[in-house]
Structures are given as C-alpha cells and as structure tokens.
Copies of this chain bind each other. A is one copy, B any other.
Amino acid sequence: MSRWTQAFVPTLKEVPAEAQVVSHVYLLRAGYMRKVAAGIYSFLPLGWRVIKKVEDIIREEMNRAGAQEILMPAAVPAELWQESGRWQKYGPELLRFKDRKQADFLIGPTHEEVVVDMVRRDVKSYRQLPMNLYQVQSKFRDEARPRAGLLRGREFIMKDAYSFDASEADARKSYQAMYDAYTRIFKRCGLSFRAVEADTGNIGGSLSHEFQVLAQSGEDKIVSCTQCDYAANVEQAEIKRPAPPAPPAAPAELAKVHTPGKKGIDDVVAFLGVPAGRMVKTLVFIADGKPVVALVRGDRDVNEVKLRRLLGATEVGLASDAAVTEATGAPVGFAGPRGLKVRTIADLDLQGMTDAVTGTNENDHHFTGFDMHRDAPEVEFADIRLAVEGDPCPRCGSPFERFAGIEVGQVFFLGTKYSEPMGCTFLGEDGQLRPMVMGCYGIGVTRVAASAIEQNNDADGIIWPMALAPYHVQLLTLQAKDADVVAAAERIYGELTAAGIEVLYDDRDERPGTKFKDADLLGIPLRLAIGKKSLADGKVELKPRRAKAAELIPAGDAAGIIAARVRAELAG
C-alpha cells in the first residue's frame, strides 16, 4: 500500500514534548512510531519497513557467515538461569513473573542459557561443531530511565547469536567471523562507526568489542588513537603510563594544614594554590557490600568498571556519606590514604608521586608534602582511572581522541563461562569430554534505525541511507487534479514498481508546500515531483534528499534514471 491516501503516515507539525534527541523527534513527527508507555513503542507501517530492512541486512550477513536462524521463546523458565547463576545476580531490569502454577519465569533479555540447554541436549561430538545459532526477537529490559526513544527503550528488537566451538582457537575464528559480519552489516546500513574494545558487563567473558555509531547524542564515550587503530570504550580503555619519576633529591616534608570547610578538590586547589594534578583524590566505594578506597589524581576520575574487574566484584558504587565517615573517621571531603584500615588502590598515575596534597581523615585538615610511598606504604597500585582525551594510546603512545558513540552491536568471547557450569560438553576427536568454547553476538535492531537518523538528518527531517529507507523514492504530484500530471505520475509509478523500486506515491490533493515538507520530514532518499509546467516541457523534477536543488530530467526516462540511481546506491 504505497499511495499516501491509502497509507497510515500520520506526520506531525509539532515536536512532541516527550522527545529530546533528534531520532526520537523525527520518528514521532514522521509517523514512524508512537509511544505506548515509557520506553515502549508501536511501529507504524513506514517505521516497520525500516526495521525490516535492518533485519534483512542482518539476516543476509549472518547467513553468509554460516550462522543458522532459529527462534527461542521469550518466556524462559527460571531453572535455566539458576543453573548459570544469573537468576540470582541480575538486577531489576529483568522482567520476572510467575505462571499460573506459581513457577518462576523470566522474559529473556539474552538467551545464553536457553541456547546452551538446547545445544547440550543435541550436540555431542566435535563433528557437529562449529555451530552458530541466531535469532531476531523482541526483548524487554526494564530500564530505570528509558529515554531517547529507540536509543534506550524497554521493549526493543535484538538480533542475538551464539557460537559453539571445539577449541579456543576455533572460537577465536568464530569471533572474528562475527566481527567481520558486523562490519559488513553496519557498512551496508550506511553508518559511520568504530569497533572498540569493551567491557563484558552482565554477559561475561574475556574479550569484547562494541560497534559504536559516532554521534553526539551517544551515551557511550569512546577514545581512539590518533595514529594506530586502537579504540575502546572509556570504561575499557587502557592508558600507556610513563615510568614513575625518580625520587626527588630533597623530599618535601609532610605537614598538616588547616583547611576549614574546604571539602572538594576545587576548594582545596583554590585555597592552597596547588594544581589539581598534585592532589590525591580519595574516594570510598562499596564493592559487594564491603568498603574499598580508590585514589586518583585530582584531575582524573575513577573508572568503576576497571575497579569492579580488579576486585572481581559484582557491584561497585560510591559509598554513602555515613559509610565514608565510618571508613575514614572524618566527614566527607577530608579522606586521605594515610592510616586507613581499608583496602586502598591507587591509580598508576600516583606511582612515585611526591609533594602532593590529600586529606587527613580529620575534619578541616589536609596534608601537604605528601609522598605516596613514604606516607601510604600499604597502598596497592593498578590501572583504575578513566581515559581522557590526550592520554597516550597503550599500543603506540600517540594521543587519544574522544568521541560520543551509540552502541549498536557487541561481540563477546565467552570461553566456557556458560558451557562449563551448565555441562555443555562434547566428545573431542581424541575421545575426551570437554566444554564447548562459546561466543555471543548482539545487535540492537531498533537502535540501528535510530542511530542512522542521529547521523543523517537536517533541520527539515531525516535523510535515510538508501538501504534503510522505507521507500527508495517519494513520488508526488504538484497538481493532484490535473489529468496530465496524474497520468504521468501513474505511468512512472507503474514503471518504477515494475522495476522493483519501492515508491511512496503522495497522491494527496494538498498544496506542493505541504507535500515537500512531509517529504523532507520522511527522509526518503529520492523525491520525484510531477508538475504541470515542467511536464509541458516533457520534464519532471528529481531531488535527492541530500541535495540543495532539484534537477529536471526527461519524463520519459525518469523511471530508468531513478532505478539506476537506486541500484547504484544500494550496491554501495
């Protein structure tokens, strides 16, 4: 149904109050989707066409990479998650429910347990490996703060894939095959993206890459080397550190100074006139219920993900004021490493640091002349800070650039994290029983569509990449009641459709201005306008959505010219 008068394309003039980011605004305004509840949307016909195009590209590339499509249920019995341990660990984003017989179930946010259970029952021999199974499915994650439309929704469509291999080496090949497939998928979607090293979070495993679409509205911060191809989520990014400075010839003396009411780094910097880089910032965290102290330079921030991994903890968060006082004996703002009875970890920047300023664990006082090794000898050193722009790359030492990104896909090398506890084993060629080596691979299908808009838009609306556009061409009449105009439009519509080109035909009896505005909002890559005046000269007006001006092309050749352009753009 691609005549506007028979289609459901409810465009809006106003910006809906709920929407802030550009993809959210335009998806609503262009009639691609509607909100049903916070973070929960219905896709209207044009929006759904876009989603299916993303799905189809993913399916083609997954199949090409040798993966097999399946469908696992959304409703998953709790027993499987109890086996893996995730039932106990997963937070309130997990939708849990009891069925009418009071059995525990969940709506699967990912399907490692279900697929492992399937494979362990039916795959017994190395001859059946490798295997990569994927599905495309609506998922539900009960986000605390759903926002930004499809960028962080509660119900969303995801492609999830799971690979099973007989050895670590084979599993790395499977991982690389998925990495390559993802690269092809996001290229075909017309996205500008970076693959970056990433943390493994709720899923686990030992190696992971995120595929980040570069966009200002992105929630993720990534750094990438200005020289080599290292790139990582700041949560994950390693930093090359210079060798610690040699001890000074004349060490500064430790002194306690009165700093009444000077609680923050900024206050102390201003009050004592020292640079923030000479302060030792002392932060108390609670890791799985126990306090731990983290130290970083005053001008740097603690990376909680690195800290969590270092501690082997499940959850790490800043301590409450009361817990800070309990751990340090002082009010918040005066914590320091000296004399603490709590495990303390200092970032590598602090190795060899002397003549520093830090708290005393005593109200209204700070130390000056602080020497990390002399004055806090029990501190451990590790990489626990967030990377910043200009930090040296861990591979080549060149400075980092920093970007905002939208994570549209992530690949995980799981190893035997699920196969071992769940007994997903196979008989090797040597007759030995071994756990399979796994990987898992996700793509946020609906998020891909939104991130394409974040990268491709202007003040008038969306500018779809050809591969994701709901239609290739928007055909419109400038005079919907002129017989010649309508006849020409119908002829070209028929020719394009016969050539396999997808056409949205705006056949409404509306003013040209209204039709042009809607066409810009919808963002279909090519617009073909049929008007009385140019048609009298045998011409019609073709305007690519990205171009400033329309060009006149011969009405008789219009379908051929357009079909060739569409095919060229789809071929990349």
Contact = CB atoms under 8 A, between A and B. Distances in A.
Interface string A97-140: 10110010100000000100110011100011001010001101
A381 B75 CA distance: 47
B71 A51 contact: yes
A118 B47 CA distance: 14
A473 to B, nearest CB: 19
Given A8-B133, A36-B77, A114 B42 contact: yes
A37 B75 contact: yes
A248 interface: no
Contacts of A5: 127
Nearest to A31: B122
Interface of A: 1, 5-8, 10, 31, 34, 36-37, 40-45, 48, 51, 63, 66-77, 92-93, 95, 97, 99-100, 103, 105, 114, 117-118, 121-123, 127-128, 131, 133, 137-138, 140, 142, 144, 154-155
Contact of A40 (B69, B75, B95, B138): B75
Given A95-B97, A114-B36, A122-B34, A74 B74 contact: yes
A114 to B, nearest CB: 6
B95 A69 contact: no
A70 B140 CA distance: 18
A118 B42 contact: yes
Contact of A75 (B44, B48, B70, B155): B155
Contacts of A71: 42-43, 48, 51
A312 to B, nearest CB: 27
A479 to B, nearest CB: 19
A63 B100 contact: no
Given A1-B68, A7-B68, A8-B133, A74 B138 contact: yes
B123 A10 contact: yes
Contacts of A37: 73, 75-77, 103, 105
Q: Which 4 A-B pairs have the closest CB atoms?
A: A10-B122, A45-B68, A37-B77, A43-B71
Nearest to A52: B69
7 contacts: A37-B76, A40-B73, A42-B73, A48-B69, A74-B74, A75-B154, A75-B155
A74 B140 contact: yes
User: Copy number in this complex?
Assistant: 2
Nearest to A153: B73
Given A34-B122, A41-B73, A42-B72, 16 more contacts: A1-B63, A1-B67, A8-B123, A34-B118, A36-B72, A37-B73, A37-B105, A40-B77, A43-B71, A45-B68, A74-B138, A74-B155, A95-B99, A99-B142, A137-B138, A138-B138
Contact of A45 (B70, B74, B75, B92): B70
A48 B69 CA distance: 7
Nearest to A130: B6
A95 B99 CA distance: 8
A122 to B, nearest CB: 4
Contacts of A76: 36-37
Contacts of A131: 8
Nearest to A77: B37
A36 B100 contact: no
Nearest to A76: B36
A31 to B, nearest CB: 7
- The residue among A7, A66, A71 with the most chain B CB atoms within 10 A of its own CB is A71
Contact of A70 (B42, B105, B142, B154): B42
A183 to B, nearest CB: 21
Contact of A66 (B1, B133, B154): B1
A36 B74 contact: no
Contacts of A92: 100
Nearest to A140: B75
A144 B100 contact: yes
Contacts of A1: 63, 66-68
A154 B105 CA distance: 13
A99 B144 CA distance: 10
A246 B142 CA distance: 70
Contacts of A74: 74, 138, 140, 155
A72 B42 CA distance: 4
A359 B138 CA distance: 58
Contacts of A154: 75, 99
Contacts of A72: 36, 42-43
- The residue among A36, A45, A103, A122 with the most chain B CB atoms within 10 A of its own CB is A36
Contacts of A138: 73-74, 137-138
Contacts of A93: 100
Nearest to A121: B34
